[in-house]
Amino acid sequence: MNAEKRKSSPSAVVATENQQAAEAGREILLRGGNAVDAACATALALGVVSPDSSGIGGGGFMLLYMAREARFHALDFRERAPLGASPELYTEAARDNPGVSRAGALAVAVPGEVAGLAEALGALGRMKFSAVAEPAIRLARNGFRCSAHLARDIGRTAPLLANDRMLSRHLMGDAGQPPKPDERLQSHALGATLARLGDQPVEVFYRGPLAREIASFVKSRGGLLTVDDFAEYRPLWRDPLRGAYRGHEVVTLPLPASGATLLEMLAMVEADELREMGHNSAACLAHIAEVMRQGFADRAMLGDPAFAPNETSRMLLPGHVNEARARALARERSAPVAKPRGRGTSSLCVVDKDRNIALLTTTINTEFGAKLMVPEWGILLNNSMDDFTVVPGMPNAARLAGGAANDIRGGKRPLSSIAPAILMRGGEPVLCLGGSGGPTIITGVFQTVANVLDFGLDPPSAVAVARIHAQGSPDLVLVESGIPEPTCRVLEEMGYRLRGVPALRMAISAVGLAPDALTGAADPRKGGGVAAA
């Protein structure tokens, strides 16, 4: 590698959906932190600058690769149903209020983010929680620029936010006016909370005053959370899931995340020559749309492996993949229902100077979660109970109707669409990526992998290029405006119901790893941010 190339190539990269959060991660890298430290700092900063998508009132997953040991780690800090939750309780509540799992106190599951970040730092990080929280605390106290994406989300959900006076006031002021892009916002209460967590965040959040305050607040609104729910919460280390595609090993997350669905989709197209079909051609898009639909049909059979049979091994057997591919290409169709919606989730990728990799996806579920904020603490609460099968046959906010394996049980973790991946070739990582956006996470990661391996796009192009989304129900294909009109006309002539959208409400973050260079890619759909160190 020549000197000029070495000089221009960063030794570490943070890629995520907000530049201010990416810079928080870079700060930690420059202070000697590793990828795990920087990922935790970026996640905490995202909770400040993207409160519509994530925060310590939610949960998520991490997929890690530690280069020295050449080992992968999967950490599940997904939210968990309150111990008092039951299918009967929610079925009864949904009779009077079909949106019971989408907004309000019964929508709130036990948050897992603080426990998850503390666990990752303790096991594989170099820095203390208080140190990685410093950039987020400064953003909360000193103010941050409101992104165009956040301004749109506040404006769109303002009527629902008004149901919680303190939350509405926090986001829109006394006048109730949504902020404009680049307007300066602050979150003093959240900054104070992050500072109060100190270096004993689990004790403070799950067994101390915060647990009591959140449980009391949720109970006063008719919810189920108790101090026992907090005290008994634990993040879980799980075995990563492994597959293959185009000569690469693909490592991803197991249940209750959706890595198995990603691997099944990739396996279904491995026998096809996508490149010969042409990138984003009608033939290629029709083919992958049917594969997506079949992947979601199989996903409906999955749930928390502690409560339901784990079907992922069967799903990935060659015989099942061949059968699923045959069903996909048969193009059996379902009745049309409503359009799927975007989700409130944030993803990030960090590669440090030692080539350690941290992929972290954190969520409060839909935009602004349960639309409730614990006022004195500045914590927005998740609505992750909606990721369960709340009532059999009733779609959730993502318009997905789950199966019995994902029903509500006390202590259970809901099925998640989160599906990051690390691609290996010759024992070395070459690409890592993750996404936000509910079910579009799976299809977005799937298409981005194909864009790189089948069509030879570099990571920034692979992330930015137009995408589609199909999940079987509803019986339509969402098509971004970058897909040419002649291609759309051919798809319609083939019998597809299309719905054009300016951009899917999701975002992919990725880092390409070449022997002599790192290439970060952040999705322009949510603004994006890449910071090199």
- CA-CA distances (angstroms) from residue 1 to 6, 8, 258, 416, 517? 7, 11, 39, 42, 10
Phi then psi for 57, rounded to 5 degrees? -90, 10
Angle at 274 between CA 269 and CA 279, to 5 degrees: 130
Residue type for 181, please?
A: P
- CA-CA distances (angstroms) from residue 410 to 85, 114, 232, 304, 428? 5, 21, 12, 12, 41
- Which residues, including other chains, have CB under 8 Å from residue 196's CB and lie 6 or more apart? 204, 210
Nearest to 367 by CA among 352, 346, 350, 388: 346
Written as six digits, the tokens of 488 are: 């759309």
DSSP string for residues in 418-487: ---EEEEETTEEEEEEEEESTTHHHHHHHHHHHHHHTT---HHHHHHS--EE--SSSS-EEEETTS-HHH
Number of residues that this document lists for the chain? 533
Contact 505, 417 (CB under 8 A): no
**DSSP secondary structure code for residue 372 in this structure:** -
Which residues are marked as active site?
Answer: 345
Three-state DSSP class for 428? strand
- CA-CA distances (angstroms) from residue 505 to 20, 231, 312, 437, 459? 20, 35, 28, 6, 19
Contact 287, 274 (CB under 8 A): yes
Query: What distance lies between CA 521 and its chain's CA centroid?
Result: 16
- Bridge partners of 521, per DSSP, are 510
Nearest to 510 by CA among 518, 522, 526: 522
Contact 356, 333 (CB under 8 A): no
Query: Distance between CA atoms of 255 and 236, rounded to whole angstroms?
Result: 11
Query: Distance between CA atoms of 425 and 247, rounded to whole angstroms?
Result: 7
- CA-CA distances (angstroms) from residue 415 to 80, 158, 519? 10, 28, 32
The kind and range of the H/E element at 63 are: strand 59-66
Residue corresponding to tokens 């991803």: 252
Query: What distance lies between CA 447 and its chain's CA centroid?
Result: 16
Written as six digits, the tokens of 432 are: 């890592």
How far the first Cα of the chain sits from its last, in Å, is: 19
Nearest to 468 by CA among 279, 185, 231, 189: 279
